[in-house]
Structure 1
Amino acid sequence: MQHLNRYLCIVLLLLMAGNACAQQDIPPLTLKTLLSKIGNTAPSLITDSAGISIKQAQAVETRNNWLPNLKLNYQADIGTNNNTAGPYFGFGIIPSNSRGVRDESNTSATLTNLGIAALDWEVYNFGAYRAQNKVAGSEVQLAQDQFQQSKYQLQTYAIGYYLQLLRLQDYINIQQKNIRRNEEIVRSIRSLAKSGVRPGVDTSITEAELSKARLNNIELENQLKQVQLRLAQMSGLPADRIVPDTTIETKLTASVLLPAISDADTTNHPLINYYKSLLQNSVAQENLVKKQYNPKILLEAAAWGRGSSVDANDHFNNLSSGWGFDRNNYLVGIGISYNLFDIRRRQLKLSSQRAATDYAQKKLNEQKSLLSLGISQANVELNTARERLKEIPNQLKAADAGYRQKLSLYKNGLTDIIDLNAALNILYRAETDYVQARYAFSSALFQKALSGNEVNTVLNLLN
């Protein structure tokens, strides 16, 4: 039984070692690769891409609005031919009955048939077709810029999550160093307690600190996995494969990146382009309102043939004689149509659309202001973070020296566990402050790049 247990333990250790090696063999995922993957597979971008296709199809439909209507109709009817004098409105439900009025009522059945080819074409409407096409084109552009805006926002989120991964990985490394320090202290105290140099209560205090450090490490691991899951949902990559490339931290904090993004390019910024397209679409809609109530020039044409069982002498013949066309006609005409009350309708709708245009213009101005503010804030944060990075090495050096001094004094019985723990906490805080300073600098750097539309410049310099 003991041999079996020993064998199982060996197998378990081998499996754990193999799993650890497999995790270590996972290549780091660069930020540029991650953003490229998100740009191709993000569900929200696929949806926006389908929206572009819809607008493009609608634009093609709009471009064909000028096509005429050519209708072919045929009918065969049995009924009476019994008219009386007097006008009436048809209301679309009173059938036609052509012939003069007879002296007497006659309800004999007749058979007629009628074939018509009718052309109805709005030949010219004083620019309305052109205005419709411009609106359709502006809606396609708006959908495309909305896609780029969504891509930019996803890019922003992805960069933020990636920087969080780097920070959490650094925190985990610091926490593991902290665990090793606490384990070293525990071993020293146990040895000193056995020899009677230190009281046993010191062992309990240090073991509590060690347990706290392990719990903090568990929580950090959980946070890291949560961020990996968010990026996995955005990119379609397995969560355990999203391992940040920690080598870029040194490059991000290098001053060589700053001159490359000193000049912001907000002219073609995705957010600006979207609001520009929104404004242009509203202006196009405004122009369409002006045009769509203009007069319309119409071309009408028709050719038709008729046959009837009633002959020219008003004889009601056999119904079968009503088949076939014995009279043929055609009619061609051109006309103009204009509704005078459209003047008022155009004024009201134009006023409403101009308000929408004014709103779009203000949104564009607001976005430009926000981008400018974002660049200014990023510059301030960059300067502050740079000053932190210059000063923190002094804090780290002093904290490390203080901890080592307190540990040596404690081992020699010259100080107590409280002072040692205080020195350890100061060192731990200095290390986490350094990580936070690097994260703040990197975040400000990318905030400036995002606001200035210079993300690709930074990504190219990181490779």
Structure 2
Amino acid sequence: MNTFKLLLFACALSATAYGQRPGRVYLDSLLQTTARNYPLIKAKRLQSQSLQQAVQLQKNGVIPMLTASYQADYATYNNITGMIYPQYIIPISGPPSKTNVSSAVPGSAAALSLLWDPFTFGQRQTAIDLAQSRAEGGKAEENLTVFRQQLAVINAWLDYSLDLSLIRVFQQNIDREAYHLKQAQSLASSGLRPGTDSSTFHAELIRARIQMLAFEQRRDSTLSVLKELAGGQLPPGLPADSSIFGHLPIGMARQSAAEHPEISLQNTLVKTDELTLSASKKSLLPKLSFWGTTYARGSGVAADGSVNSSDGWQFQRYNYGIGLQLSVPILEAFRQKPLFKQQRLAVDADREILNQTELRLQTQVEISNSALEKAIAAAKLSPEELHAARYAYDAMLSRYQAGLTNYDDAMQSLLLLYRAEASVKMSYWAAWKALLGKAAYEGSLDVFLNPYGK
């Protein structure tokens, strides 16, 4: 019984491995590596986390402010009766003095002060909502950055797969040219073909090998770009994936435009501007604050005016108090009126940008659907071209061996076969590229990933 269960488990693992081809498994790992390591994505993630901390900061506004302080001074104590606006001037406590005394005395004080705003008439909650909206915007920007970067990685991955496939095609062409060179040399030795044919085939073979070096350099460059886009490090076990050249993609049903990361980001911008306007209007509401204090003071000047400097370092009087304060900004509405209009216009502008974004994406989805349909249709025709080119090449090869045709016709059929083989690869690659474009404008990588690797 246990053996039977193990057999079923092994079959399940085998089915899973078959359903996920190495290329798809590696691409998933590559996308995860990109999201984890790419510096710009890491920067956006850190910015998003910092905005989350701003939300907690606003929530902490309900915590009272409790401040402990101590001060010591050495100053004169000349005072006078009358009102004074205290900005830039440190007032003197105590009764007015009859004369000016130039001698200074020490003084000290310690205090514990409490300020609490438990009721803010909705201002605190609006500030929390605004911070939360900004955090959502940071997360939406992070998601959009990840989405765009992963699109760029998949695009480079397709280019790399094409380069590998074209190198294999070109290598087959080199092998055919090497075969033709040996054949031409044999036919020239037997007098069936002129000796110039072997020299010309040899020149073509050398030219093809030089072109192969250019193909390999392009492959290496594409791989370097892929490595950069993934954050400077590729997962181990890079496969030579050719799955995209074995089957054509199947387009998925259109996703909702609201799911696009760009739409999500624009929605958060509209919401943030609306909450900014709401917070500005809430600033017109009254403010209610509760306060409490206890403090002690010491002075080198006694109540009768006598001076004892050592008493300034000791606390002599103690006080406490509690209270509340209600403040109403009466004229603030008139002063802030242009600001409200400015913020309302900003909200309307962001809504129009949202409408423009939705319109652009909708248009691009329609274009990408048409491009995908035509790319798939072209890819389905390319094997027919290859079949015809191979038939023509085989026929021309037989005629050349029999001495019934010349070198130019043989090279033309060889070139036609090479182009047809490359055309099949490029047409399949173009179909997958078109599907990637569809995924980009619909805002979902699953549009591409679900058909890929099956």
TM-based fold match above 0.5: yes
> What is the identity, as a one-letter code, of the residue corresponding to 1:164?
D
SS in 1 for 2:94: coil
Alignment partner of 1:365 is 2:355: yes
Alignment counterpart, residue 459 of structure 1, candidates 445, 449, 454: 449
Q: Does 1:300 align with 2:291?
A: yes
Structure 1 counterpart of 2:270: 279
Superposition deviation, residue 301 in structure 1: 3.1
Root-mean-square deviation over aligned CA pairs = 2.7
Which residue identity does 1:162 align to in structure 2?
W
1:331-346 map, 5 Å: 331-340=321-330, 342-346=332-336
Gaps of 5+ in 1: 1-26
Judged with a 3 Å threshold, the aligned counterparts in structure 2 of structure 1 residues 100 and 435 are, in CA distance, closer, same or farther, namely: same
2:48 counterpart letter in structure 1: I
Please give the residue correspondences for 1:45-444 in structure 2 after superposition, counting only pairs within 5 Å.
45-102=41-98, 104-107=99-102, 110-235=105-230, 237-238=233-234, 241-251=237-247, 253=248, 257-258=250-251, 261-312=252-303, 314-340=304-330, 342-444=332-434
Unaligned 5+ runs, structure 2: 1-21
Distance 1:76 1:184, change over 3 A: closer
Same amino acid, percent of matched pairs? 27
How far apart are the structure 1 equivalents of 2:204 and 2:101? 114
DSSP 3-state at the match of 1:74: strand
How far is the alpha carbon of 1:137 from its aligned partner? 0.8
Contact 1:228–1:242 under 8 Å retained in 2? no
For the Cα contact (< 8 Å) 2:244–2:432, is it kept in 1?
A: no
With 105-114 and 64-73 compared, the bigger mean Cα shift is at: 105-114
The answer to whether the 8 A contact 1:232-1:239 is kept is no
**TM, length-normalised to structure 1:** 0.83
Contact conserved, 2:44 with 2:141, CA < 8 A, in 1? yes
Whether the 8 Å CA contact 2:438–2:447 is kept in 1: the answer is: no
Q: Mark the CA change 1:249 to 1:195 in structure 2 (over 3 Å): closer, same or farther.
A: closer
Counterpart residue type for residue 333 of structure 1: G
* Corresponding pairs, count: 430
Counterparts of 1:132 and 1:262 in 2: how far apart (Å)? 41
* Alignment partners' CA distance in 1, 2:61 and 2:427: 61
Note the C-alpha offset of 1:156. Answer: 0.9
Q: Structure 1's 300 and 375: CA in aligned 2 closer, same or farther, altered over 3 A?
A: same
Q: Summarize deviations over 1:262-309 as a string: whole Å, max 9, x none.
A: 232333222222222222222222222222343322333333333444
Distance 1:307 1:76 in 2: 9
Per the alignment, residue 33 of structure 1 pairs with 29
Contact 1:71/1:119 (8 A) holds in 2: yes
- More displaced stretch, 406-415 vs 179-188: 406-415
Would the alpha carbon gap of residues 329 and 248 (structure 1) be closer, same or farther in structure 2, given more than 3 Å must change?
same
Displacement after TM superposition at 1:319 (Å): 2.7
Q: Which letter does structure 2 place at the counterpart of 1:209? A: E
For residue 257 of structure 2, give the secondary structure of its aligned residue in structure 1: coil
8 Å CA contact 2:26–2:238 kept in 1: the answer is no
Output the CA distance in 1 between the equivalents of 2:382 and 2:262: 37
For 1:6, the equivalent position in structure 2 comes to none
Deviations 1:320-349 (A, max 9, x none): 344544433334332233445532442222
Q: Deviations over 1:230-255 (max 9, x none)?
A: 2223335448843342134324x16x
Which residue type is aligned with residue 412 of structure 1? A
Change (3 A) 1:91 1:272: closer
- Asked if the contact 2:296–2:319 (Cα under 8 Å) also holds between the matched residues in 1, the reply is yes
Q: Is the 8 A contact 1:131 1:284 kept in 2?
A: yes
SS at match of 2:124: helix
